């Protein structure tokens, strides 16, 4: 069973949210439209809906994260769920209990939803394959595979600024090879019918078969950024230098960093995005990151609404919906 099938029920409704790949435009549009309707909640005096009242959401993080975990937590709380945060540091030297044992233990606490981040590609899939049927699994990032809620919040942010997808040109710049964000966003944009998705990076930071994901490859920002509507900069991890993928941060910034000069290659109303946390002066110049075209903080805000939407849709579709009264 492929991941795409694993996350759908027989009627094709989302039970889990593991990857964007294999979903239909209808699925994605439902998420975006729901997020749009939920976006207003934060502006209310009481920032809460009763949708997940009485439900328990567990944030199960096997990798350090502040932003993603916090926005998942806020999303769950704004839907009135109880939230449990579990940060399980894993390293090769301190092998704890198996993932399956962790899962069974938390299952025994009668939870309704697992939000999982794990350093291994396929970890969320693995969880979804083994959880009891009433539990929904949301992938909050698995290895280099997928970060589908990030992909959706990026698509949501883009749609708010550039609703005409067929004419849309999006450039994703940086470490595509290790980026689960890039993979999920490329799938989301293609499914939503974006005009063109470009990836811009040196060969060392591109998967060999990146075109097969549905992206056009550029090695130079000069060519790749020309006339684009959206620029998505990716975070560059420091260990890439140690693993001989790049010589120095300085050279990366010189060749690929987003400066005002390079931004001028894009359309005059192009927006600048970044999944965060940003490395100022490595992939992006502070003047661009803080500039008028940057929607980086808006992405963070939108992340809450999109995650609220995905939580209510998946739990709403579950066989034993405890929130029927909501």
Partner 1 sequence: MRIAIEGGRVIDPAHQTDVVTDLFIADGRIAGSGQPPAGFVPDWRIDARGQIVCPGLIDLCARPREPGQEHKATIVSEARAAASGGITTLVCPPDTDPVIDEPAVVELIRRRARAAGQVRVLTLGALTHRLHGERLAEMAALKEAGCVGVGDGGRTVASSRVLRRALEYAATFDLTVFLTPLDPELGHGLAHEGQVATRFGLPGIPVAAETGVIARDLELIRDLGVRVHFGRLSSARAVELVARAQAEGLSVTADTAVHHLYLSEIDLSGFDSRCHVRPPLRGPRDLDALRVGLAEGVLGALCSDHQPHEPDAKQAPFGDTEPGISGLDTLLALSLRLARDGVLPLPALLARLTWGPARILGLDSGHLGTGAPADICVFDPDAEWRVEPDVLRSRGHNSPFLGWELHGQVTHTLLEGQVVHAREARR
| List of residues contacting partner 1 (CB under 8 A) | 1-3, 6, 21, 98-100, 118, 120-123, 125-126, 142-146, 180, 183, 207-210, 212-213
CB of 256 to partner 1, least distance (A): 20
CB of 181 to partner 1, least distance (A): 11
CB of 201 to partner 1, least distance (A): 14
Between vectors from CA 122 to CA 322 and to CA 146, what angle results, nearest 5°?
A: 85
Region at 113 (left for phi over 0; alpha for psi -120 to 50; beta for the rest)? beta
* Residue whose CB is less far from partner 1, 122 or 321: 122
Q: Is 219 exposed, middle or buried (0-12, 13-18, 19+ CB in 10 A)?
A: middle
DSSP secondary structure code for residue 325 in this structure: T
Tally helices (H) and strands (E) across the chain: 13, 9
- CB of 98: closest distance to partner 1 in angstroms? 6
DSSP assignment, residue 293?
T
Dihedrals φ, ψ of 161, to 5°?
-95, -35
Q: Which two tokens stand for residue 317?
A: 């579709």
- Alpha-carbon distance of 170 to 157, in angstroms, equals 13
Q: Which is nearer to partner 1, 120 or 317 (CB)?
A: 120
Nearer to partner 1, 213 or 322 (CB): 213
What is the closest distance, in whole angstroms, from the C-beta atom of residue 7 to partner 1 in the complex?
11
Burial tier of 183 (Cβ tally within 10 Å: 0-12, 13-18, 19+): buried
Q: How far is the CB of 149 from partner 1 (least distance, A)?
A: 16
Nearer to partner 1, 6 or 86 (CB): 6
CB of 175 to partner 1, least distance (A): 12
123 versus 189: smaller Cβ distance to partner 1: 123
* Cα 182 to Cα 200: distance, rounded to the nearest angstrom: 11
Tokens of 91: 């390293």
Instruction: Give the C-alpha separation, 24 to 6, whole Å.
Output: 14
Q: How many CA atoms lie within 13 A of 42 on its CB side?
A: 17
| 84/213 with CB nearer partner 1 | 213
Q: Which DSSP symbol is given to 213?
A: G
Give the tokens for residue 161.
């600024």
Our CB check for partner 1 shows the closer of 142 and 283 to be 142
Q: Give least dist CB 23 to partner 1, A.
A: 14
Residue whose CB is less far from partner 1, 130 or 226 = 130
């Amino acid at each position: 069973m492929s991941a795409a099938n694993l996350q759908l029920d027989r009627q094709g409704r989302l039970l889990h949210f593991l990857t964007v790949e294999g979903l239909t435009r209808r699925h994605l549009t439902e998420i975006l439209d729901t997020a749009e309707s939920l976006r207003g909640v934060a502006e209310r005096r009481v920032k809460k809906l009763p949708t997940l009242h009485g439900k328990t959401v567990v944030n199960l993080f096997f990798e350090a994260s502040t932003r993603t975990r916090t926005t998942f937590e806020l999303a769950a709380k704004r839907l009135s769920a109880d939230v449990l945060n579990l940060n399980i540091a894993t390293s090769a030297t301190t092998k704890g209990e198996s993932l399956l044992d962790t899962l069974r233990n938390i299952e025994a606490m009668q939870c309704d939803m697992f939000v999982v981040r794990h350093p291994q590609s396929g970890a969320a899939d693995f969880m979804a394959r083994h959880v009891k049927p009433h539990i929904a699994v949301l992938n909050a990032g698995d290895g280099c595979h997928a970060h589908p809620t990030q992909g959706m919040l990026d698509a949501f942010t883009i749609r708010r600024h550039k609703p005409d997808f067929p004419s849309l040109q999006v450039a994703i710049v940086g470490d595509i090879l290790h980026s689960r964000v890039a993979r999920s966003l490329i799938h989301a944009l293609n499914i939503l019918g974006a005009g063109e998705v470009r990836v811009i990076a040196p060969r060392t930071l591109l998967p060999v078969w990146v075109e097969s994901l549905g992206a056009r490859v550029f090695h130079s920002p000069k060519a790749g950024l020309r006339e684009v509507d959206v620029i998505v900069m990716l975070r560059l991890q420091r260990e890439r230098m140690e693993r001989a993928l790049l010589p120095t941060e300085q050279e990366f910034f010189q060749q690929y960093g987003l400066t005002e000069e390079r931004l001028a290659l894009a359309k005059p109303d192009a927006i600048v995005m970044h999944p965060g946390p940003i490395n100022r002066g490595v992939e992006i110049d502070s003047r661009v990151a803080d500039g008028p075209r940057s929607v980086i903080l808006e992405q963070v805000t939108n992340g809450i609404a999109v995650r609220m939407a995905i939580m209510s849709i998946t739990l709403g579709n579950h066989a034993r919906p405890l929130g029927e009264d909501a």
